[in-house]
Amino acid sequence: MIINGSISNRLFKKFTLLLILCAVQLSTSLFAFEHPGGMHSKAQIKFVRHEIRDKHEPYFSAFQQLLGITDTILKKEHHALTDFSVPGFYKKPEEHIRNSRSLATDAFNAYACALAWQLSGEEKYAKHAIYILNAWSTINKRYSESDGTLVMSYTGTAMVMAAELMSNNKNWSDTDKHLFSNWVKTVYRKATNEIRNKKNNWADWGRFGSTLSAYYLDDTEDLKENIRLFKSDLFDKIAEDGHMPQETRRGVNGIWYTYFSLAPMTATAWVAFNATGENLFALQKEGRSVKAAIDYLLFYNRHPNEWTWFKNPVQGTHESKFSDLDLKTFNSFWPANLIEAMSGIFSDSEYVSYAAPYRPLCYENHHFAWVFTTLMPVTLDGYKRNNHFLRKNFCVTKTDDSENNRPINKPVVP
């Protein structure tokens, strides 16, 4: 009896442990983030819909801009490639540009149409977004050559954001959604995870793309890993005075690469906040912080002659557009899109003043993190109608931008 009792006790413990493991596995498999979500939460979408309905600015003009863009692309065909082959720019420049543009154009078009559907409810936009998403999920099987991984990562972000916006559309079939999820798992996220452990902006784009993918796929563990990676080297990426050593060393393009690193970094932090409520923007150590890096970027983009890392650096202005759409009804330039987005994160009216003269802003080419920044404002304080910053400070009237008379403190020059 004692032996049998001992055996029964051990069996009971094993059975109990098995039940616990099954329960954990079941809870993990059943967990789902709020969809649509990620880059654009339900609360944000609802807020913008109300602002559009009431014709509040700058949201209403930005919405009209979006419709103007999408109405021009509804009849455009997709450019999906079986092999997204992107050779190095200096090796095969024409092929690099042509193949990069295939995904960049389609990703932006899908994203713009998906957002237009969410805000307008017009099914014609949804239909075109679905058409593009289905084309890439069924045709594209891989990426290749030296720049294929990076370009796939920083352009494909808009594909995942589009799919997230379309997640509750009844006309996108479950079969097609499954095919797209499989493409994210086997192609897109594979690319992003290959580069997310690097040291420079490659890692930042890898982590952003991987974070979007984890959210879309309800993969909590991979999302946690991207947050861990973000924290692991943030204070190595940003120096005490705010400069980013891996990017300022890039010769004449040091200011550009500083922006090109901060755009995906901040977008990763935003998606992480929407997913978990954790505020990665608040991390700081010995003067190192995301805010310090943004201030550094903004100051030296206004005063490139004071940039000590290289003479005559490339400067982002409203005249340095990167546009494939040939539209003259909107402005698209860096770093105004990033600065406008971050104005809501840090409740910084000075950031608004910098961007306001060029509204409505839309960054529609090459890479996709902060795209529709005037239309879709971000905030850590929620989207209630009484949000003072979004209803007052963010809605300033356009004024001339006197760049040399801004009261931003000059960063300490290294």
Question: What local confidence, expressed as pLDDT, does residue 297 receive?
Answer: 98
Question: What local confidence, expressed as pLDDT, does residue 345 receive?
Answer: 97
3-state secondary structure 33-82: CCCCCCCCCHHHHHHHHHHHHCCCCCHHHHHHHHHHHHHHHCCCCCCCCC
Q: Residue 209 in contact with residue 267, Cβ under 8 Å?
A: no
218, 134, 135: which is closest to 174 by C-alpha? 134
Tokens at 118, concatenated? 């969410």
* Residue range 204-227, pLDDT digits in tens: 999 999 999 999 999 999 999 999
pLDDT under 70 in the chain at which residues? 1-31, 320-331, 397-414
* Residue range 303-358, pLDDT digits in tens: 999 999 999 999 988 776 443 434 333 467 899 999 999 999 999 989 999 999 99
3-state secondary structure the chain: CHHHHHHHHHHHHHHHHHHHHHHHHHHHHHCCCCCCCCCCCHHHHHHHHHHHHCCCCCHHHHHHHHHHHHHHHCCCCCCCCCEEECCCCCCCHHHHHHHHHHHHHHHHHHHHHHHHHHHHCCHHHHHHHHHHHHHHHHHCCEEECCCHHHHHHHHHHHHHHHHHHCCCCCCCCHHHHHHHHHHHHHHHHHHHHHHCCCCCHHHHHHHHHHHHHHHHCCCHHHHHHHHHHHHHHHHHHCCCCCCCHHHHCCHHHHHHHHHHHHHHHHHHHHHHHHHHCCCHHHCEECCEEHHHHHHHHHHHHHCHHHCCCCCCCCCCCCCCCCCCCCCCCCECCCCHHHHHHHHHHCCCHHHHHHHHHHCCECCCCCCCCCCCCCCCCCCCCCCCCCCHHHHCHHHCCCCCCCHHHCCCCCCCCC
Question: What local confidence, expressed as pLDDT, does residue 252 receive?
Answer: 93
Q: Where are the domains of the chain?
A: 35-405
Whether pTM exceeds 0.95: no
The rounded distance, in Å, linking the Cα atoms of 24 and 69 is: 46
- As assigned by CATH, the class of the 35-405 domain is mainly alpha
